[in-house]
Structures are given as C-alpha cells and as structure tokens.
Copies of this chain bind each other. A is one copy, B any other.
C-alpha cells in the first residue's frame, strides 16, 4: 500500500469503499438477472435486521459476529458500515469481534485485521 495516499484516486480507495462500490453495482445486476426466489431472499435478508424485541444495533452486531466466524470479508464490511451508521462504539465493536475471535479461532485473524482496518477507514471517510 502506498505510504502517502493524501490525495487518493479510485485505485487507492480503502478496501471497504471498494467493496461498497462493487456491492452497489453488482446488487443491481443480481436483482435484474435473479428470479423471484432471489428477490424474496434479499427482502427477507433486509427484514430480519429491522427493529423488534432486539434493537437494530444488537442485530447488526449479531450479523457482524456471524460474518466474522464464517470468515466472509464482504459480509463483515457490510455489517461494519451498518454498525457505524447505528452508532456502535469502539468498545462495543471490540467486544463483539473478541467473541468472534474466540468462537472462530486464529483462522479468523486475517478477517479480524481487515475488520479493525475498515473500522478506522470508516471514521475517516464514510462510504
């Protein structure tokens, strides 16, 4: 990674920003090419994170930890963006990621590293 990226162009975007851009483009494609089953699944995937007996913030942390133990960077990035929007604090994030690390073991460490990096990137420059 370049040592001084004061004025980054597209190729110097943080990983989480690159993910967010790609996600936008490709979700359009999926919803255009996908049938009713896929559309309904995407809908359901939206609904289960809505306010209920549990607050949205808790639900996003559930999605985050599930994504970490399943070791999916893009899914971790998505829930980090949402956690950031919901006002999750640094310490709440750290505690959640710690649980993911203990449950999932050292195999999650590469994703843990990128999660902490993305969390810092989100503070500097929202997606």
Contacts and interface: CB of A to CB of B under 8 A. Distances in A.
Classify the secondary structure of A's interface with B.
helix
A29 interface: yes
B107 A45 contact: no
A103 B98 contact: no
Interface in A81-101: 89-92, 94-101
Interface of A: 1-2, 10, 21-23, 25-27, 29-30, 33-38, 40-41, 44-45, 47-49, 52-54, 58-59, 61-63, 65-67, 69-72, 74-75, 89-92, 94-110, 112-114, 116-117, 119-120
B102 A23 contact: no
A71 B72 contact: yes
A104 B102 contact: no
B37 A102 contact: yes
A37 B97 CA distance: 10
A52 to B, nearest CB: 5
20 contacts: A22-B113, A23-B113, A29-B116, A30-B112, A37-B102, A38-B97, A52-B95, A54-B96, A66-B100, A66-B103, A67-B103, A70-B70, A70-B103, A75-B103, A75-B106, A75-B110, A101-B105, A103-B107, A104-B107, A105-B106
